[in-house]
Structure 1
Amino acid sequence: NTLCILISYTPQLYHLSLMNLSENDSDDEIVLPVRCSNLTYLSIKICSITFDELKTFIIDTKCNLKFLHIIGESDYNDYINDEQWEELIVNYLSKLEKFYVEYCQDIDPESESLANFQPPDQFNSLFWNQRKWIFDIEMNGMEYIYSVHSYKYSKNNLKEFINDLFSCRERWYDIDPANEISNSTRLKITNLPDDDHMMVLDLIIRDILSITQIYHLEISKENISSHILLKIINKFSALDTLKISSLKLSESKYSFNENKYSHFKSKKNKITKIYLEKMNEIEEIYFLLKLCPHIEYLKIGFIHNMDVELLMKDIFKKINNVCNQYLQSLCLHIPIANDEIIEKLKEIINRKKLLRDFSIKYVIDNIYLQWK
């Protein structure tokens, strides 16, 4: 009611930013909002009303929003219902250009089991793909953070987003500008339970897959053990990309001998792109190549105390040992690289006959190598 009364005095309002929008708790007669056809910007940092109430406000004010930013309260999970949003946008927000919705939910690993379900594809229909609005999930401690936003939007670049600069980086795996926007749902895991409580993680992943299918996985926990990574990968059947902070190989040979069934399942995964942010030993490359036999693109970030030339020879030795027929692109983050190093690498590749038809270049601290 307070909001409706306030905007009744500002019929020319075009920019509205609210810290908190809550339900009307009083018994007073509800004041209907006035027409605000000039309203093009709406941001609500804490939205404590239901989706239906928000929809009513948008319809009754007859606003012409171009920018909508909503962070919904956890009591109302209808904020991540793609069909409701699509209907609202098509019928009442036809001019909407910038869109961000976030919804937080506490993790409840003791909820009832969901058996024999097919993961839905929330926010992955033609409607969302055409607009390049995508669905992300972040598992942060004991909380899920769901968000729907523009493809190039980064939560860390909200200022640029608001100012319409759109200078933030695309996702790390966008090596091909012609990539399809479909199948873009990403899960970011910032914390993991210890080895004795992995059943909790199984239940959490089950709950996530009850919401949507996952195509891109990012794990920011440092030194994730190889056998835990193997278990996690096998939970997601549709993964296309994998990003991990750093890896700790299990004492047994790369954990594959621990569980023949898990090894068999890893052979069937569809991962084509891998980004290892920090590499401590060359054997990690061997593990990842074995884990993901369909890999096409490998990116390696920080390389700990390794000679670049020796590293390149070792990498191709591992590739040849695994007999990977799909890998055709390699990116190494080497800040010290220069034209001299590039020429040396070319000479090594040709002399050792590591590759036949290849190209190598150095761009902004990264060495890019492609071959056929």
Structure 2
Amino acid sequence: MATNQQLTTIKCLILDHFITFNELSSIISYTPDLRRLHFSHRHERDTTIGSMSSIALTNLTYLSLRIFSLNFHDFEIFIGKIHSKLITLSVNISSNDFTYLDAYRWERLILQHLSQLERFSFQYLDHVDNEHRYFEGLNQFFSPFWIKRQWIFDVKIVDEGIVYVVHPYKKRWYEYTDERMVNSSTDLCQCHRLILNITSCDEFNELMKIEIQRILTVVQLYHLEIHDIEMAVDKLLEIIDLFPNLISIKIDSLSLTQANVSCKKIVNISQSTKNTDKITKFYLDNITEMKEVYLLMKLCPHLTYLRIDSLGGIDAELFVEEILKKINQECHDSLRWLCFFDLDADEEMIKTLELIDSKKLLRDYTIKRVVEHIYLHWK
């Protein structure tokens, strides 16, 4: 341990290599003024946690660490030996110990040793080495403890496996209109989201279905985002069929040609599942033709909020007019919000869009511009 003559005034320490707990204890004994610490725990089995001395770091407010193969019990011991007033804790975990998904153990640990914690995030990587081993404990992360702190639970499927994430809540795309939230109440109990990062529809295979079923034993999912792919409609419906409680979907683009079936047949396929009935918000990043939007309106009959970022060269005035005509023709009474992005959006465009009045397409409506986004809302 360090003597008084060896103490340093270092306030931020980044250890960009793997160390054991005893090595960490020795290093930080020299840094009593430490405020921010980042380190990675060594891969090999570390038996030094029991012999690690307790250290008082009264100035430490930020701790970030990466953990490999460490069980949760030993992690609890480590946190208990670091006496500090942590405000921020960030943990990146790769381990076979499912206890890291036990929200009640986290709650107990935080209440006992991290009472001043304000910002908490962790990522737990599940390699799915054995698909027959599951965590038993559905929807633990929306107890009053987590809701009060607005720490929410999300999931990602990546090449390495399943990543479970807890992080501070931030407003999402479906909660904004003209700089306000669509819903006045933040229902954190229904904010759990799955993010799929895939580059080909072929990646949605039996392994991914197993991963999704595995996820659904841990958390009930209400929001789905699929990135980096032009999604074929029939494949999208196949994915939706796995999630009985979806409220919102965000995808990059929709392919009608890849499906190799008619729109009428696609709609008939969608009727085999009732899961699309619950979808009320849809974000389509790009479109190339209007029939993609029409199809979404058929697939999701209770859609209330539609957002499109790129109109693919379609004139904004024509886009709005055609959608409103379609709504009136087919009595799509649920749709109430339309948001789209246009680089040319300005006050002149707002005036141009007042065709709504002249053509009597809507009665009670508001239309606003926020930078390059146009928000149209009607009652």
TM > 0.5: yes
Partner secondary structure for residue 123 of structure 1: helix
The gaps in structure 1 that reach 5 residues or longer are 153-169
Partners of 1:23 and 1:12 in 2: CA distance? 30
- Of stretches 353-362 and 322-331 in structure 1, the one that deviates more from structure 2 is 322-331
The equivalent of 2:167 in structure 1 is 149
Task: Tell me the amino acid that sits aligned with residue 239 of structure 1.
Answer: L
Partner secondary structure for residue 265 of structure 1: coil
Q: Does 1:229 align with 2:236?
A: yes
Percent identity over the alignment is 37
The equivalent of 1:253 in structure 2 is 262
The equivalent of 2:212 in structure 1 is 205
Q: Deviations over 1:194-229 (max 9, x none)?
A: 459633332222111112111111011321000111
Task: Tell me the amino acid that sits aligned with residue 314 of structure 1.
Answer: E
Q: Does 1:359 align with 2:377?
A: no
Partners of 1:48 and 1:16 in 2: CA distance? 21
The equivalent of 2:79 in structure 1 is 58
Q: Do the aligned partners of residues 119 and 335 (structure 1) sit closer, same or farther apart at CA in structure 2, a change above 3 Å counting?
A: farther
- Of stretches 194-203 and 221-230 in structure 1, the one that deviates more from structure 2 is 194-203
Partner secondary structure for residue 85 of structure 1: helix
Partners of 2:45 and 2:52 in 1: CA distance? 10
Partners of 1:87 and 1:297 in 2: CA distance? 40
The equivalent of 1:86 in structure 2 is 107
Q: 1:135-284 counterparts in 2 under 5 A? A: 135-152=153-170, 170-175=171-176, 176=181, 178-191=185-198, 194-195=201-202, 198-249=205-256, 250-254=259-263, 257=265, 260=268, 262-266=270-274, 269-284=277-292
- Counterpart contact for 1:188–1:217, Cα < 8 Å: yes
- Counterpart contact for 1:230–1:291, Cα < 8 Å: no
Q: What is the CA distance between 1:22 and its match in structure 2? A: 5.2
Query: When the two structures are superposed, what TM-score results if normalisation uses the length of structure 1?
Result: 0.85
Partners of 1:282 and 1:360 in 2: CA distance? 21
The equivalent of 1:336 in structure 2 is 344
Q: What is the CA distance between 1:37 and its match in structure 2? A: 3.8
Partners of 2:211 and 2:269 in 1: CA distance? 22
Q: Do the aligned partners of residues 355 and 269 (structure 1) sit closer, same or farther apart at CA in structure 2, a change above 3 Å counting?
A: same
Partners of 2:245 and 2:137 in 1: CA distance? 10
- Of stretches 277-286 and 14-23 in structure 1, the one that deviates more from structure 2 is 14-23
The equivalent of 1:123 in structure 2 is 141
Count of aligned positions: 350
2:318 aligned to which of 310, 317, 333:
310
Query: When the two structures are superposed, what TM-score results if normalisation uses the length of structure 2?
Result: 0.84
- Of stretches 123-132 and 139-148 in structure 1, the one that deviates more from structure 2 is 139-148
Task: Tell me the amino acid that sits aligned with residue 74 of structure 1.
Answer: S
- Counterpart contact for 1:242–1:275, Cα < 8 Å: yes
- Counterpart contact for 1:189–1:218, Cα < 8 Å: yes
Q: Does 1:111 align with 2:131?
A: yes
C-alpha RMSD over aligned residues: 2.7
